[in-house]
């Protein structure tokens, strides 16, 4: 999921790779930052990317926001400060959310090069893209997300040919 993309580069998060092998979930993060989990909330934590691996980013529905919230689409935002964790344990956070550790980042023009498959990248590096939807981010099982997104992207590409 690309969060921001401009002349300075781009950054985003991966939304389909849970950190289940590390036995890490939201309750572990809440314990680590000292927030009492009186609501008993829990959720898997996803590997957001290889950069800033200790950075916690929460993708969430747009029914909640704070000063650090960035709107990604009309339905999805991201917040990366502790206020969202406090809101979640306090019972007044967003209705939908996904926890990510780390981000993916690209320098100026790097993402465009990767997506195009042009030199120094190869056509094998070309990207297929699909619009970010609230459904795909929050409701589709992470094991199915890749194949669903791939099918949507191919259908969009084929539609452009005709």
Q: Write down the pLDDT at residue 71.
A: 96
Whose structure tokens read 């300075």?
A: 8
Count of CB atoms within 10 A of residue 59's CB? 25
Cα–Cα distance list, 121 to 10, 12, 72, 118 (Å)? 17, 20, 28, 5
- pLDDT of 22: 67
Closest by CA position to 98, among listed 71, 58, 142: 58
Region 83-112: mean pLDDT is 94
Average pLDDT estimate for 84-92? 95
The rounded distance, in Å, linking the Cα atoms of 37 and 49 is: 26
This prediction's pTM: 0.87
Q: What is the pLDDT of residues 12-44, one digit of tens each?
A: 999 999 987 667 899 999 999 999 998 899 999
Q: Is the pLDDT higher at 17 or at 126?
A: 17
């Amino acid at each position: 999921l690309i969060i921001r993309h401009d002349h300075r580069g781009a950054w985003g998060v991966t939304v389909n790779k849970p950190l289940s092998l590390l036995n890490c979930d939201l309750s572990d993060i809440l314990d680590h930052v000292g927030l009492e989990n009186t609501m008993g909330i829990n959720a898997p934590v996803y590997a957001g990317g290889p950069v800033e691996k200790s950075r916690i980013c929460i993708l969430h529905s747009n029914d909640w926001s704070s000063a650090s919230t960035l709107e990604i689409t009309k339905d999805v935002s991201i917040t990366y400060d502790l206020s969202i964790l406090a809101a979640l344990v306090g019972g007044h956070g967003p209705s939908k959310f996904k926890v990510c550790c780390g981000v993916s980042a690209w320098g100026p023009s790097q993402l465009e090069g990767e997506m195009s498959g042009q030199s120094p990248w190869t056509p094998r590096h070309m990207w297929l893209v699909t619009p970010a939807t609230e459904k795909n981010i929050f409701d589709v099982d992470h094991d199915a997300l890749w194949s669903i997104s791939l099918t949507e992207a191919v259908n969009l590409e084929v539609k452009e040919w005709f």
